[in-house]
Structure 1
Amino acid sequence: MSGTVPVALWVGLVGVAGTLIGSFLNVVVHRVPAGLSVVSPGSACPSCGHAVRGRDNVPVLSWLALRGRCRDCRTPIPVRYPLVEAGTGLLFVLVSLRLEATGELSALAACLVVAAAGVALALIDLEHGRLPFSITGVAAVLAVLALALGWWGGDGVEPVVVVASAAIWVAVYGGLRILTRGRGMGLGDVALAPLLGAVLGALGAGPALVGLAAGFILGALVGVALMATGRARRGTRIPYGPFMLAGAALAVFAGDQIASAYLTLVGLS
């Protein structure tokens, strides 16, 4: 894409799209756990109930212009809102720069879908300890549609690898849930697994396997650190979704390199 569109313009467009989606994700993070519609009613201040004006709903800039406070009642607006907006925009830019040069636009689209859903899922899991099926389900439909269109259009997506990767991921996470009788993995983790496996499988077997292993390694490292500092103990329930998503992100950016290095280390390459 950047071969026909100047890189600066490409980055700007993707970044703006990401911040706009990040603004919507703030609504998702607030309303979905409460069982509320993300469509209506419109955004309003939770303290005074006044509707948010259009000029006060511009990602990041409105928060800065209002100095982090509601225009009507001056109640502080959490800094998480602009951070989610800016962070999603930055994530979209990084993912796009990493993948658009491959020419596999369907894989890029699927990764952006998972990136957006992942932001919301990670925040909800950290705050509420669950991964809503509504978010995972919508992301799965969009990602699979993007990959299917890519396969149909011949942009290099290998359906066998995609399906095999999704199957391996769900087998591992589903198996762990069965073995631990639900104490080690939640249903939300099992539902998220095939989505991450399928999207990483679109990038290749290396990223798919690296992402699978990285989630467990990151989770183990953080778990040991929390126990060592007394912030957790054996049996403490730690949200696992963020580690799955972090492992998948690592695989997107460095999965091929890590897989190649590992194969060289063990003498298989």
Structure 2
Amino acid sequence: MARGPIYIWNEWATQILVLLSFALQIFLFVFARTRRCGSSPLLRFLLWLVYLMADSTAIYTLGHLSINGILHEHELVVFWAPFLIVHLGSQDTITAYALEDNQLWPRHLLNLGVQAFGVAYILYKHIGHISTSLGLATCLMFVIGLIKYGERIWALKCATMDDIRSSIKKCGLLPTYYGDLPPPSGASAEERDEEELLLFAQAMLPLCKGGIINFPVVLISHPHNSPSNLSWCWNWNWKATFKVVEMELSLMYDILYTKAAIIHSWY
């Protein structure tokens, strides 16, 4: 007698859900970075759909493990619970799909507490029935998952408009950030390399942040930063100027939609 889909689901639901969650994370890892340079409407739709499904699938799978228990014939199933916390931390290349997602960081913080409690409950029930090496690996994965999810929550919080505005107000060196620029190398505008342009774009980042949140930024308020001393910054051809703008947009994309700012500040 052929076994129907209900029987297959009852027997393999946990494995199917874990594999689905893993497949969604692979999709995000491969295609999330394509948003930076633009992508087709179909790919954007799929990315949006997968972004929403990834969290829901991981949460549902953790709930399934908590309610239905662990398959005793497979010790490795215990390891899957903290592994799903890592999935909730999402990929470093995408923490938010839209600016509005950053405002939901308190919801993710609450979800972290709930899911961490659920995983701790699963480990408490079954940690004594697995080998010592697997138990240590499971606990280590649990800690890594908490850190990874915490990074995502902090990245979402730092990408909110209020937090960006606060960071600009706290920046005491903001009016003189030109002082951090390297001195002109004497090269012509056509000969400036990308490293020099990137340093300039990084130094101009507070100005870009201020423009996004409609916060005025003083360009020149220091004797050493007079227009005559800064004329070398503006004596560039259109290619160099557009390159700086491209770098500025890329840096702002990292701040608003990825973990780049958090990872760079930690490590």
Which fold has the larger relative contact order, with Cα–Cα distance below 8 Å and residues 6 or more apart in sequence?
A: 2
Judging by fraction of residues, say which structure has more helix: 2
Asked if these proteins are the same fold (TM beyond 0.5), I'd say no
TM-score (norm 2): 0.30
Q: Which has the larger radius of gyration?
A: 2
